[in-house]
Amino acid sequence: MNFDENFILGCSAIGAGLAVIAGIGPGVGQGIAAGYGAAAVGRNPGAQGKIMSTMLLGQAVAETTGLYGLLIAFLLLFVKPLI
């Protein structure tokens, strides 16, 4: 089966769009984590440093999913191995 260049570019663009959707999950997760972190600091202001460092570490780990999706989108858009 032989595909032309426009079909492959179109499929790559659709795949890149779907890969960027992966950024929605980390955004929601980080918002929830920040909300719970703020509530925890409100309940116990003395533990602010420990709460904030744990929250930021968790957000950094959650962000890797979105960054991987962005990396895949860039690869699909700018690296064309099938053409």
Is the Cβ–Cβ distance between 8 and 80 less than 8 Å? Answer: yes
Q: How many helices (H) and strands (E) does the chain have?
A: 3, 0
The whole-angstrom separation of Cα 42 and Cα 80 is: 51
CA dihedral 67, 72, 74, 77 (to 10 degrees): -160
Give the pLDDT confidence of 25-79 residue by residue, as tens digits: 888 988 898 899 999 999 999 999 999 999 889 888 888 888 999 999 999 888 8
Looking at domain 24-78, its CATH architecture is Up-down Bundle (1.20)
Give residue 1's pLDDT.
62
**Domain chopping of the chain, boundaries:** 24-78
Give residue 39's pLDDT.
93
Give residue 83's pLDDT.
64
For residue 9, pLDDT beyond 90: no
- The residue that leads in pLDDT, 2 or 82, is 2
- Show the tokens assigned to 14: 């659709």
Query: CA neighbours within 13 Å on the CB side: how many for 62?
Result: 18
pTM: 0.73
Give residue 14's pLDDT.
93
